[in-house]
């Protein structure tokens, strides 16, 4: 009798390996390797039968209830066949994808593509432990259609937004830009902060610090302490917080000390008698922070570990898939009773009963419409593994992140910290009769409570944490003090800090924009698109971002309005809850508040005109020149200086003068003085003299691809002047006419080889080389181009040709042995970027993979994914029949002529159709291979809830 077999499908190979270890021989566990199909990304993805259909432009049929057209990823076809083959031998199918909208989406797609004829069960779990997996097998559920509908609406919404608005950016700003529902709002937040910094005006103020000592020298530190000047004759001294963003005081009844006034008071305070005016003590109590959810984990890992959001989520994903933490995409701060019991048990064992509150702590979720019913992110299992136990099994990033999660979870169930804060006021009598009041605060921790396990970080690394102790000597009111010294120091107000990844995540969460699970993708996307770059940990917007945000704010205000975007998130949640229907909601958004035949207006996030009409109406009103111009000011001669965003980036313009902008120049650093300096700087273009042979002038110029020399002037009706790239050893600033003529002498004729073939020495894209007919050989140095002789050249050509350009470079990193092939895994730099290899299989790193931090586990995943896709398909070579009858040849000739005529006749029509069917690849082109994908229009089909949904192409 045959043994019953169950097929379990998860998303990733790592997750599949972990779960397979918990299940017996009756189960086969395989991964889908993420999503198996999606909306077409470019025109070439659309199968021929849909090229002229209503799906062709958007991949969504907006006229027929927004039916999406899903196409199978060509790279996944062989893997899908593998899943179908496994399904043939199974008695039941468990869809074990993550329990969120994206996981429900993947499960639904698998169901649609595999079309199983056996019972199907939805298997869900919050952690990958033996008990959790066994319980999930015993208690499956049905596919949640509400989550599917919500995911479908989200995916279609993002497609409509991106594919309608992005072409406006291509026409009015520059090609290959993209707009996205959340991506554009995140960019706007960063640009708005930079605008605040640009408008900011600093102010200067001075203060005085005094060092005092109690009379009791037996006090710790000899009774010394420092205090800051607070008041003079009852008038409070100005501090930084008293200025507005324009450098003006918010109140008039304050004392602003300049340098002279501060130094005058300093002299008057020398050896001034001082005494304690007041001592105020207050008890304080602090409670621990809630356990981590996705957004707070990203924020805290950014502050404490200096991880990017993407790096944090990669490490968390690996920890989850290997069974060390619970599901890492969650809005919940709830802990299960088993988790609370485990935490309390470890607290009592490690810290004692005094650190346990009388009852478990319960945290209320502050996130609106929390998406999932998951737990908070915590160590997996009923008994938490200690950080040192996990560190022996994972890489450095995972170990650090697990320790952070463990500490936060344990601390969340610990007792409050208790302490006492002390505020002391000290009066010092100056020689000129003025009364100076100094202040100092201290803090003493009486009982540390949760601080023994965890201290929450701060966005400002230099800021002191509130729980840090600061001891003061024992003092009471009326005590006399010795004035030891006084110092004065000038201060300058600072502009608002730029966003870091951590603070941007917090801001997005505060505004209710996007989902925590998408934040890492959003931040990666806006950097990849050139809207934002990093200066240290700060996110700096580019001038391109200013142009894009300016266009969207002026002409598509609702689409980047924070409240409007947050309201869309709420309404997508209402679809998931079953309170809203997806199709009417999409109609309101795309066609307007009252589309035809859609009944009465019932409110919601619809646009008055609808997205389609809004784009059509606004396109003609957009002044591209105005949008792409950022005024800087006028120079001393009254000439306007502006930053312009052009096809190839931003540049400065003043009348006919232009100057490039340094790539690392932040917008708030481009002052009028800096802009004038850049415009007045020598361009690097200069005339070196005349060529003795031709009499033509010789120039050294700066171009897009570097510095070059040019013989003669370019102009209409003139021959294209001869040019040549300068040598690496040449300095443009000190280059002479002789140097330039040396470059222009290339290519140099070296001599003649066999069969009277001329040998020349040249500089090429990949360095110096020799050419003889169609044969070529590399030279070792640039100088050889000018010195190599005919004899030396013939010897070089006599050597066997080296097929590779150079010897294989050593690996960048060694990552152990692959568990499948047993081969040694190495990280290498290839022609198309870094990749990992086990000697048999090569796998390129993904966009979010950092070569500096890649782990062995991640390398295993990449190699497993590459193997699952099967070997690359090569184009079949055309075979020519050796023998053919005259009749066959005649038919082929006639057929070929017919095709040629038809092709010529329909050339214009085909060109138009190509433009119309462009589903978008960032610039409307149809790049990429022809789609060898199955496609099917569907009414209910979800897809990714990740930030990539905001991309176009």
CA distance readout (Å), 316 to 311, 329, 388, 394: 9, 9, 17, 11
Distance between CA atoms of 761 and 913, rounded to whole angstroms?
A: 48
Give residue 829's pLDDT: 79
Give residue 704's pLDDT: 59
Nearest CA to 329 out of 340, 317, 311 is that of: 317
Residue 372 has pLDDT above 60, yes or no: no
Which residues have a Cβ under 8 Å from the Cβ of 386 and sit 6 or more positions away?
406
Give residue 462's pLDDT: 38
Residue 599 has pLDDT above 70, yes or no: no
Give residue 716's pLDDT: 55
Phi, psi of 623 (to 5 degrees): -90, 100
Nearest CA to 410 out of 383, 370, 445, 372 is that of: 383
Give residue 684's pLDDT: 65
Which residues have a Cβ under 8 Å from the Cβ of 858 and sit 6 or more positions away?
314, 318, 849
SS3 state at 742: helix
Please state the rounded mean pLDDT for residues 208-219. Answer: 85
Distance between CA atoms of 622 and 923, rounded to whole angstroms?
A: 19
In DSSP notation, 39-66 reads: S-SSGGGS-GGGTTSTTTTTSEETTTTT
Least confident interval from 323-327, 406-410, 563-567, 948-952: 948-952
Pairing of strands 722-725, 706-711: antiparallel
Give 731-771 pLDDT, tens digit per residue.
Answer: 877 888 999 999 999 999 999 998 889 999 998 877 899 99
Share of the chain above pLDDT 90, in %: 55
Distance between CA atoms of 698 and 351, rounded to whole angstroms?
A: 80
Least confident interval from 209-218, 456-465, 518-527, 623-632: 456-465
State CA 315 to chain mean position distance: 15
Which residues have a Cβ under 8 Å from the Cβ of 123 and sit 6 or more positions away?
8, 94, 95, 96, 136, 137, 140
Please state the rounded mean pLDDT for residues 72-80. Answer: 87
Least confident interval from 47-56, 91-100, 440-449, 482-491: 47-56
Tokens of 150: 């919500």
Tokens of 435: 């009364």
The stretches of 36-129 forming alpha helices (DSSP H) are 77-88, 101-114
- What is the pTM for the complete model shown? 0.75
Distance between CA atoms of 410 and 342, rounded to whole angstroms?
A: 9
CA distance readout (Å), 538 to 220, 494, 710: 41, 15, 42
Between 346 and 366, where is the model more confident? 346
Residue 563 has pLDDT above 60, yes or no: yes
State CA 314 to chain mean position distance: 13
Distance between CA atoms of 725 and 719, rounded to whole angstroms?
A: 19
Residue 604 has pLDDT above 60, yes or no: no
Which class for 832: exposed (0-12), middle (13-18), buried (19 or more C-beta within 10 A)? exposed
Residue 551 has pLDDT above 70, yes or no: yes
Residue 414 has pLDDT above 90, yes or no: yes
**Residues with catalytic function:** 327
pLDDT band at 885 (very low <50, low <70, confident <90, very high): very low
pLDDT band at 903 (very low <50, low <70, confident <90, very high): very low
Distance between CA atoms of 773 and 929, rounded to whole angstroms?
A: 34
Which residues have a Cβ under 8 Å from the Cβ of 569 and sit 6 or more positions away?
369, 512, 513, 514, 515
Q: Are 223 and 274 in contact (CB under 8 A)?
A: no
SS3 state at 897: helix
Residue 879 has pLDDT above 70, yes or no: no
Give 242-261 pLDDT, tens digit per residue.
Answer: 999 999 999 989 999 999 99
pLDDT band at 322 (very low <50, low <70, confident <90, very high): very high
Give residue 719's pLDDT: 78
Give residue 367's pLDDT: 55
Q: Which residues are 633's β-sheet partners? A: 641
Q: Are 568 and 576 in contact (CB under 8 A)?
A: no
Residue 815 has pLDDT above 90, yes or no: no
Least confident interval from 220-234, 265-279, 654-668, 713-727: 713-727
SS3 state at 816: strand
Which class for 290: exposed (0-12), middle (13-18), buried (19 or more C-beta within 10 A)? buried
Give residue 437's pLDDT: 97
Please state the rounded mean pLDDT for residues 916-923. Answer: 36
Give the DSSP letter of residue 595.
-
Pairing of strands 67-72, 60-61: antiparallel
Between 9 and 56, where is the model more confident? 9
Give residue 814's pLDDT: 84
CA distance readout (Å), 434 to 428, 437, 488, 752: 9, 10, 17, 97
Mean pLDDT of the chain: 84
Give the DSSP letter of residue 690.
E
Least confident interval from 297-311, 325-339, 771-785, 792-806: 792-806
Give 788-806 pLDDT, tens digit per residue.
Answer: 999 999 999 988 776 554 5
Between 929 and 443, where is the model more confident? 443
Residue 883 has pLDDT above 70, yes or no: no
pLDDT band at 514 (very low <50, low <70, confident <90, very high): confident
Give 641-652 pLDDT, tens digit per residue.
Answer: 999 998 778 889
Give residue 809's pLDDT: 64
Q: Are 82 and 128 in contact (CB under 8 A)?
A: no
Give residue 916's pLDDT: 38
476-509 per-residue burial string, b: 16 or more CB within 10 A, e: under 16? eeebebebeebebeeeebebeebbbbbbbbbbbb
Which class for 465: exposed (0-12), middle (13-18), buried (19 or more C-beta within 10 A)? exposed
Residue 2 has pLDDT above 80, yes or no: no
Which residues have a Cβ under 8 Å from the Cβ of 741 and sit 6 or more positions away?
691, 698
Nearest CA to 426 out of 257, 212, 221 is that of: 212
Place of tokens 């958007």: 58
Please state the rounded mean pLDDT for residues 174-198. Answer: 94
To 5 degrees, how large is the angle CA 32–CA 33–CA 36? 65
In DSSP notation, 230-243 reads: EEETTEEBP-GGGB
Q: Are 240 and 489 in contact (CB under 8 A)?
A: no
Distance between CA atoms of 337 and 375, rounded to whole angstroms?
A: 11
Helix (H) or strand (E) holding 283: strand 274-286
Between 712 and 356, where is the model more confident? 356
Which residues have a Cβ under 8 Å from the Cβ of 842 and sit 6 or more positions away?
830, 835, 836, 866
pLDDT band at 202 (very low <50, low <70, confident <90, very high): very high
Give residue 3's pLDDT: 57
């Amino acid at each position: 009798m045959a043994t019953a077999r169950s097929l379990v499908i998860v998303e990733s190979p790592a997750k599949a390996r972990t779960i397979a270890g918990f299940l017996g021989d009756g189960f086969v566990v395989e991964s889908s390797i993420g999503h198996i199909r999606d909306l077409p990304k470019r025109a070439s993805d659309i199968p021929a039968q849909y090229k002229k259909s209503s799906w062709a432009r958007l991949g969504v049929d907006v006229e027929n209830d927004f039916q999406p057209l899903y196409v199978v990823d060509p790279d996944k076809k062989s893997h899908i066949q593998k899943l179908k083959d496994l399904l043939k031998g199974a008695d039941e199918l468990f869809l074990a994808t993550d329990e969120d909208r994206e996981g429900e989406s993947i499960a639904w797609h698998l169901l649609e593509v595999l079309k199983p004829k056996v019972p199907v069960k939805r298997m869900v779990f919050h952690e990958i432990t033996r008990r959790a997996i066994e319980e999930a097998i015993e208690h499956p559920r049905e596919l949640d259609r509400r989550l599917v509908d919500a995911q479908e609406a989200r995916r279609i919404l993002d497609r409509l937004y991106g594919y309608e608005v992005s072409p406006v950016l291509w026409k009015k700003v520059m090609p290959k830009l993209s707009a996205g529902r959340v991506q554009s709002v995140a960019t706007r937040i960063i640009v708005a902060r930079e605008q605040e910094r640009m408008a900011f005006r600093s102010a200067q103020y001075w203060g005085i610090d005094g060092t005092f000592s109690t009379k009791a020298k037996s006090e710790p530190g000899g009774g010394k302490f420092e205090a800051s000047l607070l008041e003079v004759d009852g008038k409070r001294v100005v501090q930084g917080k008293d200025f507005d963003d324009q450098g003006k005081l918010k109140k008039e009844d304050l004392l602003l000390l300049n340098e002279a006034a501060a130094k005058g008071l300093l002299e008057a305070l020398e050896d001034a008698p001082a005494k304690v005016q007041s001592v105020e003590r207050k008890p304080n109590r602090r409670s621990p922070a809630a356990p981590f959810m996705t957004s707070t984990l990203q924020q805290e890992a950014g502050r404490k570990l200096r991880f990017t959001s993407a790096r944090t989520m990669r490490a968390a994903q690996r920890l989850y898939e290997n069974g060390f933490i619970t599901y890492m995409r969650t809005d919940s701060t709830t802990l299960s009773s088993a988790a609370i019991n485990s935490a309390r048990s470890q607290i009592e064992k490690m810290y004692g009963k005094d650190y346990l509150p009388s009852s478990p702590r319960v945290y209320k979720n502050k996130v609106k419409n929390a998406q999932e019913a998951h737990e908070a992110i915590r160590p997996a299992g009923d008994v938490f593994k200690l950080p040192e136990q996990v560190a022996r099994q994972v890489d450095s990033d995972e170990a650090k992140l697990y320790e952070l999660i463990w500490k936060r979870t344990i601390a969340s169930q610990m007792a409050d910290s208790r302490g006492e804060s002390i505020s002391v006021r000290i009066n010092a009598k100056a020689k000129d009769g003025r009364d100076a009041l100094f202040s100092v605060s201290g803090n003493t921790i009486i009982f540390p409570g949760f601080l023994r396990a965890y201290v929450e970080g701060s966005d400002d690394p230099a800021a002191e944490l509130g729980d840090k102790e600061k001891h003061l000597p024992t003092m009471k009111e009326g005590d006399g003090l010795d004035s030891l010294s006084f110092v004065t120091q000038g201060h300058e107000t600072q502009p608002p800090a730029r966003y870091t990844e951590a603070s941007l995540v917090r801001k997005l969460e505060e505004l209710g924009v996007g989902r925590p699970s998408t934040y890492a993708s959003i931040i990666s996307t806006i950097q990849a698109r050139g809207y934002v770059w990093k200066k240290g940990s700060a996110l700096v917007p580019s001038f391109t971002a200013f142009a894009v945000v300016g266009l969207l704010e002026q002409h598509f205000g609702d689409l980047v309005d924070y409240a409007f975007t947050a309201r869309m998130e709420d309404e997508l949640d209402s679809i998931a809850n079953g309170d809203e229907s997806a199709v009417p909601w999409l109609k309101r958004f795309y066609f307007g508040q009252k589309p035809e035949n859609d009944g009465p207006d019932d409110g919601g996030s619809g646009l008055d005109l609808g997205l389609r009409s809004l784009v059509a109406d606004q396109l003609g009103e957009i002044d591209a020149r105005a949008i792409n111009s950022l005024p800087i000011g006028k120079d001393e001669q009254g000439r306007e200086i502006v930053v312009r965003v052009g096809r190839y980036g931003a540049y400065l313009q003043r009348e006919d003068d232009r100057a490039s902008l340094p790539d690392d120049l932040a917008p708030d650093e481009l002052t009028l003085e800096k802009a004038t300096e850049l415009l007045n700087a020598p361009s690097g273009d200069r005339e070196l003299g005349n060529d003795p042979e031709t009499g033509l002038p010789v120039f050294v110029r700066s171009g897009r691809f570097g510095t070059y020399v040019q013989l003669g002037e370019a102009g209409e009706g003139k021959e294209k002047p001869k040019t040549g790239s300068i040598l690496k050893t040449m300095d443009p600033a000190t280059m002479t006419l002789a140097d330039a003529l040396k470059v222009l002498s290339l290519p140099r004729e070296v001599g003649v080889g066999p069969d009277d073939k001329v040998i020349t020495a040249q500089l090429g894209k990949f360095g110096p080389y020799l050419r003889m007919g169609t044969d070529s050989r590399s030279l070792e140095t640039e100088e050889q181009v000018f010195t190599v002789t005919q004899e030396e050249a013939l010897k070089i050509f006599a050597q066997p040709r080296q097929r590779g350009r150079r010897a294989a470079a050593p690996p960048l990193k060694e990552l152990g042995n692959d568990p499948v092939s047993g081969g040694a895994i190495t990280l290498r730099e290839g022609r198309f970027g870094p990749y990992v290899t086990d000697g048999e299989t090569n796998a390129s790193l993904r966009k979010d993979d950092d070569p500096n931090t890649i782990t062995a586990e991640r390398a295993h995943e990449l190699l497993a994914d590459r193997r699952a896709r099967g070997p690359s398909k090569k184009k079949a070579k055309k075979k020519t029949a050796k023998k053919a009858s005259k009749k066959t040849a005649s038919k082929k000739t006639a057929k070929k002529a017919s095709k040629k005529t038809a092709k010529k006749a329909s050339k214009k029509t085909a060109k138009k159709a190509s433009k119309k069917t462009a589903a978008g690849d960032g610039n409307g082109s149809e790049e990429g291979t022809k789609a060898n994908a199955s496609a099917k229009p569907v009414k209910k089909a979800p897809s990714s809830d990740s930030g990539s949904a905001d991309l176009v192409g």
